[in-house]
């Protein structure tokens, strides 16, 4: 029987007086003067103690009365009649157990009647032999009785006072216990903050020093502070949009003016603009050094960001699975143990800077698995985190991470000015002993073409500086000779110059050390690794020592291995149990030597199309004798003939052509055949092929056709090749394209300016360019100075972040452009010069986060119709209304729009073209807002774009460009609801196009449009 049913039969008036007899009458006060300070239940019942008024016999009579009254009234009996006496006895025992409970009245009330009833039944003897109905009746009756007993407790005049006192005491006790708990167990955020302080300090120490090759003679330290040695390089990539906003292509499918042109940004500031970057760079170009710099600057920034440095060569050295988030630090050998779940909390909060170094150092067969691992990480932590992935240029294909919204950038070859800066910093770090050689080397780099060709990246520049100093101003010619000299310096001269004896009891000449170390290089290269277990490296050396007499004479192979590891200058221990080379270039060079010594030509040819083996092939040719060179070249041509894929064939031909310059002697007929076969793939068909072809070097320039013999597309690919041959020999060929009618050809020419001598290129190429629709890219102050010297006033300017504020302001004022792209890296800048412009029609402001500026700084009197912003004006988007002619607005890289910003945009009277991200619609669109004035839209989206919402928001759309960042086909059938749509473009896969009206012109990848079978 439920308590409610018993309550219907036993009213409070009937049961109350009966149950009240179980309790003693109350006394005055709060009950605080007693010895215990609490009123126990045993002192409240009337059948216990010296002053009891009820006997146990009386309680049994009371129980019988309660049972009798509960049976009266309508309804059947709740339990069998023959169990009445047993039920009564059990109820009496249950009520008597009230005096046995070890609690006070306040605690009883806190329990509640249901829990108190359970305590009573547990304290009383269990019912014996009763039916299920009787047991249920007793449970219900006990709960009902407890409900009334607690009501009596709370009605006592002393209870309220006592309960308040008890509550106060309880709160004080809880506070004291909580304080003690906090003292003994620090809060999670406290533990996180303490760990982050230690972790960031560890990163700053670990990555805060950089080896500058060759500054290790005499008593110089082996590494130098990163902030002294680091040189900021440029990274280049394609623009995803421009000031033109929503229309990146013309109706003929060509890139529109300003779209798709190459832009550059300082590599160390690229993450401030692009949250996800795939950065390509050749060996020695500074990718790992950049990762170090980003880690250290983030560690020292104190802005809450946390860098994770993840070298893939370490994570994959055993071929094991890539680690989950909670093992990222331990997997890279970090000695610190984070609080449980710390990495997850950092990345969930969007505070991470994830630096993944060396996709190219993962074996090709494992790169897809690596991409899946990366995608899983991004999917799980798709917040405000920033991601950088580095790779050699040809390790992964174009757009390898494009669908994951990665911007692809390439580290540029060092410009002449950057090489000069590097040389001066190197000599400054070298101290007074290096100073006499500084200007001598600067002059040699400017006047010696062969030397300048080698000085294209920090590694080679460092080696050249070291060797120039070591040889008192005399340098070897050619790459192999340069490496040979570097090895001689590292292996034998370093310890001798530093007056060091044999610290490990081993003294070896250059040749035996090379014989042993090249075995390690060969094993790593053959197995697609750049890192190996220390024990395995030791076993390789131990096995080889008996075959090298000078090493065997020492008798202890372990000492020989220790000597090579610590004194050769070529090997290092990134962790206590691993070994690798100080740079991949040395590994490739020595692996090639060992391969030639063994004459494993079959292995070489089998791997020649592998991007990890490109330098190995070239160095193998350099190590080979003339007859061996001829055989390698013939085998490469045969492999190209047998290649099933055009890309493999091209790569093999390019590898063969680039190796020509490394051979000491090549038969004329062999050279002619290679060049003739290379000419078969000229002009290149894609940018990727063009860059591959440029690796041949200046030789390829003689194979490129003149502009009059090329189609527009062929001309563009040929110019890409020639501008990638970073040698002044390219300039005479490039000059012939200065007036080419195709805008992209001329855009490539102006973009490549920093790759060549500033003045020579300005005079011969820049001064002759047809300026029609051309954005003049100005990356540094000396480019602006050349424009002024030549009297050029471009109407369209693209000013990079490397141009100082004063020079930028002067250039803008002098040119008064019609189109301006202004990129700034520092949040503090003065935009007031913009308000003076009178001709400006299109403006793109690429500003860092937290830049403070107002719309009043924009030229209200200029005919400004198109505006692209990466940040909002401080006075709000609505203030743009003073730009009376504004029709196009691009906010694709700006903060996500909210309802207030959308209403501001809706108030711009002439606005008809927008460029936005899907987040702007998903998270900020007001439900009651419609913008019928928008007729053109560029819409950047990922998976499942909200096209239905787009149709409702912009019902008058005529032109729509979908900037796709997903591999899935996008169903565009809902766009049939746009009655005026006539033009649709996408760079991804489309489905449902058969539902669109015939008037809609489609501009997309032909294979990406999924049509009905009859239209295929």
Confidence band of 505 (pLDDT split at 50, 70, 90): low
pLDDT at 822 over 90: yes
pLDDT of residue 682: 83
pLDDT of residue 480: 82
Q: What is the CA radius of gyration of the chain?
A: 40
pLDDT of residue 501: 45
Domain contains 844: no
Confidence band of 500 (pLDDT split at 50, 70, 90): very low
pLDDT of residue 253: 34
What the block records as the tokens of 723 is 């501008």
Confidence band of 972 (pLDDT split at 50, 70, 90): very high
Dihedral pair phi/psi, residue 32, rounded to 5°: -100, -5
With H, G, I as helix, E, B as strand and everything else as coil, classify residue 672.
Answer: helix
Domain contains 994: yes
* 223 and 333 fall within a common domain: yes
pLDDT at 89 over 70: yes
**Lowest mean pLDDT: which of 379-388, 445-454, 575-584, 815-824?**
445-454
Residues 6+ positions from 516 with CB-CB distance below 8 Å:
541, 544, 545, 548, 551, 560, 564
* 273 and 137 fall within a common domain: no
Question: Could you tell me the CATH number of the domain that includes residue 975?
Answer: 3.80.10
Residue where a domain stops, chosen among 107, 142, 163: 163
Q: Give the whole-angstrom CA distance, residue 122 versus residue 818.
A: 90
What value does the mean pLDDT take over residues 698-715?
86
* 323 and 214 fall within a common domain: yes
* pLDDT, mean over the chain: 81
Query: What kind and span of H or E run contains 869?
Result: strand 866-869
pLDDT at 443 over 80: yes
* 153 and 203 fall within a common domain: no
Domain contains 367: yes
Q: Give the whole-angstrom CA distance, residue 848 versus residue 823.
A: 9
**Lowest mean pLDDT: which of 299-303, 762-766, 797-801?**
299-303
Residues 6+ positions from 188 with CB-CB distance below 8 Å:
339
Q: How would DSSP label each residue in 323-373?
A: P-GGGHHHHTT----PPTTHHHHHHHTT-EEEEEE-GGGS-GGGHHHHHHH
* Closest to 575 in 3D by CA, of 912, 331, 883: 331
List pLDDT tens digits, range 633-656: 999 999 998 988 877 888 888 888
* 377 and 441 fall within a common domain: no
What the block records as the tokens of 348 is 């969930």
* Closest to 882 in 3D by CA, of 912, 859, 906, 916: 859
With H, G, I as helix, E, B as strand and everything else as coil, classify residue 915.
Answer: strand
Q: Give the whole-angstrom CA distance, residue 203 versus residue 312.
A: 17
What value does the mean pLDDT take over residues 46-62?
76
> pTM surpassing 0.75?
no
Q: Do 339 and 188 contact (CB within 8 A), yes or no?
A: yes
* Helix ranges (DSSP H) in 643-780: 646-659, 668-679, 687-694, 712-724, 731-735, 743-751, 758-764
Angle between helices 132-155 and 84-96 (to 10 degrees): 30
pLDDT of residue 244: 35
Q: Do 41 and 103 contact (CB within 8 A), yes or no?
A: yes
- Enclosing domain of residue 404: 193-241+259-412
Specify the higher pLDDT residue, 910 or 452.
Answer: 910
Residue where a domain stops, chosen among 456, 479, 494: 494
pLDDT of residue 898: 87
pLDDT at 604 over 70: yes
- Give Cα separations from 51 to 54, 55, 530, 738, 954 (angstroms): 9, 11, 91, 117, 87
pLDDT at 603 over 70: yes
* 443 and 400 fall within a common domain: no
What the block records as the tokens of 247 is 């229309």
* Closest to 285 in 3D by CA, of 30, 427, 460: 460
Angle between helices 132-155 and 157-184 (to 10 degrees): 100
Q: DSSP state, 249?
A: B
pLDDT at 941 over 70: yes
Domain contains 61: yes
Specify the higher pLDDT residue, 267 or 214.
Answer: 267
Q: Give the whole-angstrom CA distance, residue 883 versus residue 857.
A: 11
Q: Do 236 and 410 contact (CB within 8 A), yes or no?
A: yes
* 159 and 292 fall within a common domain: no
* 264 and 399 fall within a common domain: yes
- Give Cα separations from 131 to 9, 79, 141, 844 (angstroms): 22, 8, 15, 87
What value does the mean pLDDT take over residues 555-574?
80
What the block records as the tokens of 118 is 């359970």
pLDDT of residue 414: 80
pLDDT of residue 799: 93
* 403 and 469 fall within a common domain: no
Domain contains 186: no
Buried b (16+ CB within 10 A) or exposed e, 273-284: bbbbbbbbbbbb
Beta-sheet pairing, 571-572 with 578-581: antiparallel
Domain contains 603: no
pLDDT of residue 528: 87
pLDDT of residue 868: 93
- Give me the number of domains the chain comprises: 4
Confidence band of 1008 (pLDDT split at 50, 70, 90): very low
* 408 and 448 fall within a common domain: no
User: How many CB atoms within 10 Å of residue 838?
Assistant: 10
* Closest to 818 in 3D by CA, of 841, 846, 787: 841
Specify the higher pLDDT residue, 112 or 628.
Answer: 628
pLDDT of residue 827: 66
Extended strands (E) in 358-463: 386-391, 407-411
Domain contains 116: yes
Domain contains 765: no
* 363 and 222 fall within a common domain: yes
pLDDT at 511 over 70: yes
pLDDT of residue 1: 45
| Share of residues in the chain with pLDDT > 90 (%) | 31
Q: Do 858 and 256 contact (CB within 8 A), yes or no?
A: no
pLDDT of residue 229: 62
Specify the higher pLDDT residue, 918 or 798.
Answer: 798
| Residues linked to residue 971 through DSSP beta bridges, in sequence order | 991
With H, G, I as helix, E, B as strand and everything else as coil, classify residue 961.
Answer: strand
Q: Do 60 and 92 contact (CB within 8 A), yes or no?
A: yes
Dihedral pair phi/psi, residue 970, rounded to 5°: -95, 125
pLDDT at 896 over 90: no
List pLDDT tens digits, range 291-340: 988 999 899 887 889 999 999 878 876 667 889 999 999 888 899 999 99
pLDDT at 36 over 60: no
List pLDDT tens digits, range 90-134: 888 888 888 877 777 777 887 788 888 888 888 888 777 788 888
pLDDT of residue 479: 74
What value does the mean pLDDT take over residues 964-981?
88
**Residue at token pair 């199309």:** 609
**Lowest mean pLDDT: which of 168-177, 287-296, 757-766?**
168-177
Residue where a domain stops, chosen among 447, 463, 494: 494
Question: Could you tell me the CATH number of the domain that includes residue 276?
Answer: 3.40.50.300
* 968 and 899 fall within a common domain: yes
| Share of residues in the chain with pLDDT > 70 (%) | 83
Q: Do 702 and 673 contact (CB within 8 A), yes or no?
A: no
Confidence band of 258 (pLDDT split at 50, 70, 90): very low
pLDDT of residue 107: 76
What the block records as the tokens of 626 is 């003339």
What value does the mean pLDDT take over residues 745-767?
92
pLDDT of residue 1013: 30
**Lowest mean pLDDT: which of 14-18, 161-165, 181-185, 910-914?**
181-185
pLDDT at 531 over 50: yes
Q: Give the whole-angstrom CA distance, residue 174 versus residue 168.
A: 10
Confidence band of 952 (pLDDT split at 50, 70, 90): very high
pLDDT at 214 over 60: no
With H, G, I as helix, E, B as strand and everything else as coil, classify residue 699.
Answer: helix
């Amino acid at each position: 029987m439920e308590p409610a049913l018993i309550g219907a039969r036993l009213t409070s008036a009937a049961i109350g007086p009966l149950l009240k007899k179980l309790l003693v009458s109350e006394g005055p006060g709060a009950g605080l003067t007693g010895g215990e300070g609490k009123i126990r239940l045993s002192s409240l019942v009337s059948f216990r103690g010296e002053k009891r008024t009820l006997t146990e016999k009386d309680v049994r009579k009371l129980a019988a009365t309660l049972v009798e009254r509960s049976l009266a009234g309508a309804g059947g009996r709740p339990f069998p009649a023959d169990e009445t006496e047993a039920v009564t006895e059990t109820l009496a025992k249950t009520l008597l157990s009230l005096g046995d409970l070890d609690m006070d009245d306040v605690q009883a009330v806190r329990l509640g009647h249901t829990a108190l009833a359970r305590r009573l039944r547990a304290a009383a003897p269990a019912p014996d032999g009763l039916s299920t109905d009787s047991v249920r009746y007793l449970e219900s009756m006990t709960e009902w009785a407890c409900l009334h007993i607690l009501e009596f407790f709370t009605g006592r005049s002393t209870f309220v006072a006592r309960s308040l006192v008890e509550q106060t005491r309880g709160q004080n006790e809880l506070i004291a216990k909580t304080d003690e708990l906090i003292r003994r167990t620090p809060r999670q955020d406290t533990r996180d903050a303490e760990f982050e302080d230690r972790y960031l300090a560890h990163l700053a120490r670990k990555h805060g020093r950089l080896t500058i090759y060759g500054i290790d003679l005499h008593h110089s330290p082996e590494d130098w502070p990163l902030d002294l040695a680091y040189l900021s390089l440029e990274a280049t990539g394609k623009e995803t949009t421009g000031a033109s906003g929503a229309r990146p292509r013309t109706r003929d499918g060509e890139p529109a003016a300003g779209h798709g042109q190459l832009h550059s940004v300082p590599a160390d500031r690229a993450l401030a603009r692009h949250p996800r970057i795939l950065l390509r760079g050749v060996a020695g170009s500074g990718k790992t050094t950049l990762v170090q710099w980003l880690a250290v600057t983030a560690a020292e920034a104190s802005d809450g960001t946390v860098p994770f440095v993840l070298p893939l060569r370490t994570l994959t050295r055993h071929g094991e699975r890539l680690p989950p988030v909670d093992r990222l630090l331990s997997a890279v050998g970090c000695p610190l143990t984070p609080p449980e779940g710390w990495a997850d909390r950092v990345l969930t909060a969007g505070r991470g800077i994830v630096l993944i170094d060396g996709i190219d150092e993962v074996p090709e067969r494992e790169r897809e698995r690596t991409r899946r691992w990366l995608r899983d990480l991004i999917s799980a932590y798709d917040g405000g985190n920033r991601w950088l992935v580095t790779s050699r240029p040809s390790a992964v294909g174009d757009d390898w991470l494009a669908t994951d919204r990665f911007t692809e950038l390439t580290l540029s070859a060092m410009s002449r000015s950057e090489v000069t800066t590097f040389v001066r910093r190197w000599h400054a770090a070298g101290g007074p002993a290096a100073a006499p050689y500084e200007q001598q080397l600067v002059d040699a780099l400017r006047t010696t073409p062969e030397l300048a060709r080698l000085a294209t990246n920090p590694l080679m520049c460092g080696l050249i500086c070291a060797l120039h100093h070591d040889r008192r101003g005399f340098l070897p010619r050619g790459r192999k000779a340069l490496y040979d000299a570097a090895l001689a310096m590292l292996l034998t001269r370093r310890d001798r110059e530093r007056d060091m004896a044999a610290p490990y009891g081993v003294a070896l000449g250059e040749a035996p050390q090379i014989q042993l170390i090249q075995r390690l290089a060969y094993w790593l290269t053959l197995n697609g690794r750049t890192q190996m277990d220390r024990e395995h490296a030791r076993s390789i050396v131990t096995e080889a020592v008996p075959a090298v007499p000078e090493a065997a004479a020492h008798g202890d192979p372990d000492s020989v291995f220790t000597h090579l590891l610590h004194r050769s200058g070529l090997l290092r221990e990134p962790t206590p149990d691993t070994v690798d080379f100080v740079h991949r270039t040395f590994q490739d060079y020595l692996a090639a030597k060992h391969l030639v010594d063994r004459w494993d030509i079959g292995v070489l040819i089998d791997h020649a199309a592998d991007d990890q083996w490109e330098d190995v092939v070239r160095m193998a040719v350099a190590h080979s004798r003339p007859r061996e060179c001829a055989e390698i070249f013939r085998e490469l041509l045969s492999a190209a003939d047998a290649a099933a894929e055009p890309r493999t064939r091209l790569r093999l031909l390019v590898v063969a052509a680039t190796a020509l310059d490394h051979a000491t002697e090549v038969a004329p007929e062999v050279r002619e055949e290679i060049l003739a076969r290379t000419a078969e793939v000229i002009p290149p068909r894609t940018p990727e092929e063009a860059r591959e072809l440029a690796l041949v070097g200046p030789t390829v320039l003689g194979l490129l056709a003149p502009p009059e013999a090329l189609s527009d597309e062929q001309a563009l690919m040929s110019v890409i090749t020639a501008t990638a041959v970073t040698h002044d020999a390219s300039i005479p060929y490039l000059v012939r394209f200065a007036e080419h009618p195709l805008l992209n050809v001329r855009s490539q020419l102006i973009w490549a300016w920093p790759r060549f001598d500033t003045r020579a290129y300005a005079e011969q190429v820049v001064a002759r360019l047809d300026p029609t629709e051309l954005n003049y890219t100005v990356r540094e102050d000396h480019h602006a100075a050349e424009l002024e010297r030549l009297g050029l006033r471009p109407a369209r300017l693209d000013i990079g972040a490397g141009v100082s504020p004063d020079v930028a302001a002067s250039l803008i004022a002098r040119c008064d452009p019609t189109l301006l792209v202004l990129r700034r890296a520092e949040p503090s800048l003065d935009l007031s010069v913009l308000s003076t412009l009178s001709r400006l029609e299109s403006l793109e402001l690429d500003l860092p986060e937290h830049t403070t500026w107002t719309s009043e700084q924009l030229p209200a009197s200029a005919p400004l119709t198109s505006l692209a912003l990466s940040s909002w004006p401080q006075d709000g988007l609505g203030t743009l209304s003073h730009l009376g002619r504004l029709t196009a607005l691009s906010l694709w890289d700006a903060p996500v729009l909210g309802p207030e910003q959308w209403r501001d945009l809706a108030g711009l009277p002439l606005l008809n073209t927008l460029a936005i991200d899907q987040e702007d619609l998903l998270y900020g669109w007001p439900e009651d807002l419609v913008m019928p004035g928008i007729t053109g839209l560029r819409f950047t989206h990922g998976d499942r774009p909200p096209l239905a919402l787009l149709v409702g928001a912009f019902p008058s759309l005529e032109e729509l460009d979908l900037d796709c960042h997903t591999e899935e086909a996008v169903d565009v059938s809902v766009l049939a609801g746009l009655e005026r749509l006539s033009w649709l473009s996408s760079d991804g896969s489309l489905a449902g196009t058969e539902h669109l009206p015939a008037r809609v012109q489609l501009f997309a990848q032909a294979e990406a449009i999924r049509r009905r079978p009859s239209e295929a």
